[in-house]
Amino acid sequence: MNTLRGVFLVTFSMAAFSVEDALVKHLTESLAVGQVLFSVGLGGAAIYLVLALRAGHRNPLAVLADRAVLVRTLSEMVSTVTFVTALSLVPLSTVAAVFQATPLAVTAGAALFLGEVVGWRRWTAISVGFAGVLMIIRPGFAGFQPASMLVLVTVAAIALRDLVTRRVPAHIPSLLVAFHGFSALVAAGALLLALGQPARMPAPGDWLGLAAAIGFAAAGYYAIVAAMRLADASALMPFRYARLVFSLILGVAIFAERPDALTLAGAAVILAAAFYSYRRERRLARAAAAAPGPA
């Protein structure tokens, strides 16, 4: 049941994040990236602070003493700055396609830093998946957009965030983890504005867009944090690819994007590699569980 709840929460969060991405991309057409980050972060942090206080958590800053929470918050800051900046410069469908390499990065990170065993087949799948990334961003070829490289930084930071989330002690509530995640956006937005990004007065439509982005971000964020703590990360990974489907639909419907054949082929390569890695991991886990114990 925990796995089923986790699957539902992940799928819901992917839909919410896709809508948030579309809203943020639209908002950055008239507002500075730092301004959007600051506003969404402030709204989300306020929501989770109120929920945390109502739940009896009177000292939300105390959890930053835990190294896992602190590292997770910093990685959230890096991932959001790079992701939103890329969204403002690159088509939504391209950003979403490259972002699908995140589960492969999580697998690689778990092997390199957490000591999880990853055989040559899954390392091959990881390599093939990142070849798919190169098919999409095409460095050195006509049509290459340097800003698309920012998504790779996002992938690395998100992978670190998800791996560290597993190390967050169980007694630290998801409400406080989410509060600090949104607080990281506030800090990142303030930093970008301090570095010279010009702030503009939002139009009435921008205020509505910001409010909607805050709502979808808050809902999606809580869902993904709860899911990662509720079920095994490897069981949830395949359902994170729903974000690509949602984002492609929104990119075509709202921004009139038309992903070319190489972008779609690269996305297919990433998905195929990630699904193979997932199936291989589950097969090994089942084999280990079925192995007889010591006599």
Q: Dmax of the chain from CA atoms?
A: 72
Exposed, middle or buried, 146 (CB in 10 Å: 0-12/13-18/19+)? exposed
Mean pLDDT of 82-88: 93
Mean pLDDT of 250-263: 92
* Dist CA 222 CA 13 (whole Å): 8
Mean pLDDT of 194-219: 91
Q: Is 269 within 8 Å of 131 (Cβ atoms)? A: yes
Q: How far does the chain reach from its first CA to its final CA, in angstroms? A: 32
Exposed, middle or buried, 128 (CB in 10 Å: 0-12/13-18/19+)? middle
* pLDDT value, residue 102: 87
Give the H/E segment covering residue 163: helix 150-165
Give the model confidence (pLDDT) of 125-155 as tens digits.
999 999 999 999 988 777 788 889 999 999 9
**For residue 252, is pLDDT > 80?**
yes
**For residue 295, is pLDDT > 60?**
no
Q: Is 111 within 8 Å of 51 (Cβ atoms)? A: no
Point out the least confidently predicted range of 31-45, 102-116, 252-266, 281-295.
281-295
Inter-residue long-range contacts of 188-191, CB under 8 Å, 24+ positions, other chains counted: 188/34, 188/37, 188/41, 188/77, 188/80, 188/81, 189/33, 189/34, 189/35, 189/36, 189/37, 189/38, 189/39, 189/41, 190/34, 190/38, 191/34
Q: How far is CA 103 from CA 23, 160, 253, in A?
A: 24, 11, 27
Q: Is 63 within 8 Å of 71 (Cβ atoms)? A: no
Point out the least confidently predicted range of 146-150, 156-160, 200-204, 230-234.
230-234
Distance of CA 185 to the CA centre of its chain: 13
* Dist CA 43 CA 38 (whole Å): 9
Question: Which residues, 6+ apart, have CB-to-CB distance to 141 below 8 Å?
Answer: none
pTM: 0.85
Tokens (6 digits) for 8: 């539902």
Distance of CA 226 to the CA centre of its chain: 14
